[in-house]
Amino acid sequence: MTSALSIGVSALQAATVRLAVTADNIVNANTRVPVDAGSGAPGAGGYVPRDVVDVSSAAGVTATVRPVDPPSQVVPDGRGGLEASPNVNLAEQMVELTTASRAYESATAVIRSADEMQDALLDIVG
């Protein structure tokens, strides 16, 4: 039973990380920094979007956060120059929000089932 509970809790933690990273990406999707005209490289201080990869093991799920590659795309700034915009696809981020929500629901169902099985076992034993 403890194993099922730890798996459910680790899945809840992974869903929480996914939700937080996705929220960060959405909030910073419109931040832009000027591009250096000489090198064509984005200036310092630009937002680097992140992605979450779930890694499963016997003990549950671990959420690994990694930067998106490439972190930005160059777009016109409307004044004849260029800006670097974070490489965030809002449609993909909405899918990530739905994925985090469904993962949270599934993890709570696992925890609820483990709790019910433990209660049934205690009724049988005691």
Give the tens place of pLDDT for each residue, 67-99. 999 999 988 888 888 899 999 999 999 999 999
Q: Would you state the pLDDT for residue 39?
A: 63
- Spatial distance between the Cα atoms of 12 and 9, rounded to a whole number of angstroms: 5
Q: Any bridge partners for residue 67, and if so which?
A: 50
> Structural domain tally of the chain?
1
- Spatial distance between the Cα atoms of 34 and 25, rounded to a whole number of angstroms: 19
Question: pLDDT-derived band of residue 44, with 50, 70 and 90 as boundaries?
Answer: low
Which residue segment(s) compose the domain that 29 sits in?
2-125
Identity of the amino acid at 75: V
Model-level pTM? 0.85
- Spatial distance between the Cα atoms of 104 and 19, rounded to a whole number of angstroms: 10
Q: Any bridge partners for residue 66, and if so which?
A: 51
Cα four-point dihedral sign 67, 49, 85, 98: positive
pLDDT over 60 (residue 35):
yes
- Cβ–Cβ under 8 Å, residues 35 and 50: no
Q: Would you state the pLDDT for residue 93?
A: 98
